[in-house]
Amino acid sequence: MSKPQAAIHPRVLVFDSGIGGLSIAGCIHQALPSVPLVYLADSAGFPYGGQPEAVVVERSVRLIGEVLATLPCDIVVVACNTASTVVLPALRAMTDTPVIGVVPAIKPAAALSRNRRIGLLATPATVTRPYLAELIEAHASDCLIERVGHPDLVCWIEGLMADEKLPSKELGSALQPFRDARVDTVVLGCTHYPLVMPLLKELLPGVLHWVDSGEAIARRVAWLLAQAGQDCSDSRSSCSQPMERVLFTGPLPEGLAGFLAGLGLSTGQLSGNWPRPENEQGQ
């Protein structure tokens, strides 16, 4: 198979297991409104936090490879902490396209925390990965890091698209370890969580600093594009439909188009049950 041509206009692929990566896509669009985005959600494999590492690696590499073969992109953003903790080496071995991963923002949190007590809210998989222990050791060894690996929060957030109510009382109880530890800073170590930031702030009013990775990832994307000679900071050439394509490996959630529009990420083309044989392509 011949190598696909590089994108004429820089195009960024944002990948997650579900809708969480939309929080990152929103930040990239804010910073680089002229850059079209392709969004890939492995919703058929969701949640990645419940999958063996080898499955996460195999699925991510295969699916991202399939997108790149048909829609060449200038940068791949793995907008999923759970996948990023295990998949980056295999992905970088598979493609020459620069790959950016998302890891819990422990370093910026350590810079912000005054009382050296930090809460980390993530998936159960992310809180136990060695990568996290290394981050803490390198950047926050003088801090107490209270970890909450919530088993259901990602599923609850996905349910918002189907108009399901998020059980906020249950979530409030699950966050009790942060109150007990008197953390002044909370790291959102899962890209789904910024999508419910107002609720989290309401449940933990004493927290001074909320840290996620969205803006840092957007800056990194801008920097890599600039390094490649592509200045994309001109907001006058903003895309009318920032999401060039949205691909879900499972069926499309009913409220997805409205949800995207609410985040300022309206799209030209939504495809569910992707990839499908060519003669079956469409909505």
Nearer to ligand DGL (CB atom), residue 80 or residue 99:
80
CB of 85 to ligand DGL, least distance (A): 8
For 77, 114, 152, 179, 240, the CA distances from 214, given in Å and listed in that order, are 11, 22, 22, 25, 21
Nearer to ligand DGL (CB atom), residue 20 or residue 272:
20
Residue 239 a catalytic site member: no
- Rounded to whole angstroms, how far apart are CA atoms 96 and 110? 33
CB of 81 to ligand DGL, least distance (A): 4
Q: Which of 80, 132, 136, 119 is nearest to 203 (CA)?
A: 119
CB of 54 to ligand DGL, least distance (A): 15
Catalytic position from the list 27, 80, 143, 232: 80
For binding to ligand DGL (CB under 6 A), which residues are involved? 16-18, 20, 46-49, 80-82, 123, 126, 154, 190-192
Residue 190 a catalytic site member: yes
DSSP codes, 189-216: -STTGGGGHHHHHHH-TT--EEE-SHHH
DSSP codes, 235-274: GGG--SSSEEEEEESSPPPTTHHHHHHHTT--BS-EESS-
Nearer to ligand DGL (CB atom), residue 81 or residue 113:
81
Please give the DSSP secondary-structure letter assigned to residue 36.
-
Catalytic position from the list 27, 73, 143, 190: 190
Measured in whole angstroms, how far is the alpha carbon of residue 247 from the centre of its chain? 15
CB of 282 to ligand DGL, least distance (A): 27
Nearer to ligand DGL (CB atom), residue 10 or residue 21:
21
CB of 21 to ligand DGL, least distance (A): 6
Q: Which of 7, 5, 10, 1 is nearest to 239 (CA)?
A: 10
Residue tagged 């809460």 (tokens): 119
Nearer to ligand DGL (CB atom), residue 48 or residue 248:
48
DSSP codes, 43-109: TTS--GGGS-HHHHHHHHHHHHHHHHHHS--SEEEE--HHHHHHHHHHHHHH-SS-EEE----HHHH
The catalytic site residues sit at 80, 190
